[in-house]
């Protein structure tokens, strides 16, 4: 990854934003690369001024467990539904 590489972000409303570049700040760039390599869920802040947008901050919200948590809850719901249907 180079600082000029494109970044694909998931926005608050669930759509993607694909027109940003990685930051040129070495510290922020390293944090993003390392966090992504470690599978962490990262939230970035994007500053917009004079028609330009740039990633300016980063927050680590944990490791990439979201899929596992959702899958576990769905499995429990399916099991509960199956038990209900068997009793009916």
Domains in the chain with CATH codes:
6-63 (2.40.50.140)
Phi and psi at 46, nearest 5°, equal: -115, 125
Kindly state the tokens that stand for 8: 């694909």
* pLDDT higher than threshold 60 for residue 65: no
Report CA torsion sign: 20, 26, 27, 32: positive
Contact 23, 55 (CB under 8 A): yes
Kindly state the tokens that stand for 88: 């009916």
Higher pLDDT, 62 or 7: 7
Mean pLDDT of 54-80: 69
């Amino acid at each position: 990854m180079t600082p000029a590489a494109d970044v694909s972000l998931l926005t608050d409303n669930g759509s993607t934003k694909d027109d940003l570049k990685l930051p040129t700040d070495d510290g922020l760039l390293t944090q993003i690369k390392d966090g992504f390599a470690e599978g962490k869920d990262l939230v970035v802040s994007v500053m917009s001024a004079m028609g330009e947008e740039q990633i300016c901050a980063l927050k680590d919200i944990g490791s990439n467990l979201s899929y596992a948590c959702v899958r576990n809850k769905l499995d429990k719901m399916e099991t509960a539904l199956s038990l209900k249907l068997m009793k009916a």
